Structure 1
């Protein structure tokens, strides 16, 4: 009589392991996509109307500041004049990354937009950044 040796319990098959590893990698990649340097965009609020975005002194003349959480760029094209535009590039929807030398720059394909009116200064974007409503009261800038 031969005694039967218990067979070890099999673990997950190779396809299951590979699929699980791929799903975990995708989750990490998607999470990383939304993180990183936001170009100094430190919105005070969540982006709702009435939220304080900044003080007027925070917005450089001839430049601006990106408020990632609110999805807006606030600019000061000339002394005491404040404008706001969507922070979403009209080319392929990337978040704009910087404001300098009179232009708002999208890092994805290097589109440039005017700080004065959001118009395209350099493509590939063909449509201007949509203007957003803000209010300035004293030295406080709020979403309208």
Structure 2
């Protein structure tokens, strides 16, 4: 087994362990899962960048949920793009829409602000974690 193959195996094993830790925190009430979330972000950073959308697909003052990537991209003001985890910090449900400047979790009606992912109304008490995106020309890419 070469050095590159060993590193990939170690990285894959680490990512799997982190994913298991993050999943263990889902559905556990409103417990703090900051450690699991930051580890998951590190694993995501190692993945290759994936094109999400064209800039024109994200409405100003609104956003779009990318279910498969578990991310929501918003455009609070013209030309300003933000991205957040699409996993609600209350009980791990997936947010499903962006309406009236709020990211909506349908499970218990938590609302998060498109500007910064902070809680607009609970029961969630913690903001949606930021996700890293890159805007190049008219394309938005998940980093």
Judge same fold: TM > 0.5, yes or no: yes
Give a deviation string over 1:36-82, Cα, whole Å, max 9, x none.
Answer: xxxxxxxxxxx854110000000000000000011100000000000
Name the structure where helix makes up a greater proportion of residues. Answer: 2
Q: Describe how 1:79-90 pairs up with structure 2 within 5 A.
A: 79-90=78-89
Q: Determine whether 1:138 maps to 2:137.
A: yes
Q: Determine whether 1:65 maps to 2:64.
A: yes
Pair 133,116 (structure 1): closer, same or farther in 2 beyond 3 Å:
same
Give a deviation string over 1:5-26, Cα, whole Å, max 9, x none.
Answer: xxxxxxxxxxxxxxxxxxxxxx
Pair 123,88 (structure 1): closer, same or farther in 2 beyond 3 Å:
same
How far has the Cα of 1:100 moved from its partner?
1.1
C-alpha RMSD of matched pairs (Å): 1.1
Does the 8 A contact of 1:66 with 1:72 survive in 2? yes
| Alignment size in residue pairs | 98
Q: Which residue of 2 aligns with 1:110?
A: 109
* SS of equivalent to 2:56: helix
Structure 2 gap ranges (5+): 1-43
Q: Determine whether 1:52 maps to 2:51.
A: yes
Structure 1 gap ranges (5+): 1-46
Tell me which structure has the larger Cα radius of gyration.
Answer: 1
Does the 8 A contact of 1:52 with 1:143 survive in 2? yes
* SS of equivalent to 2:76: strand
Normalising by structure 2, we get a TM-score of 0.67
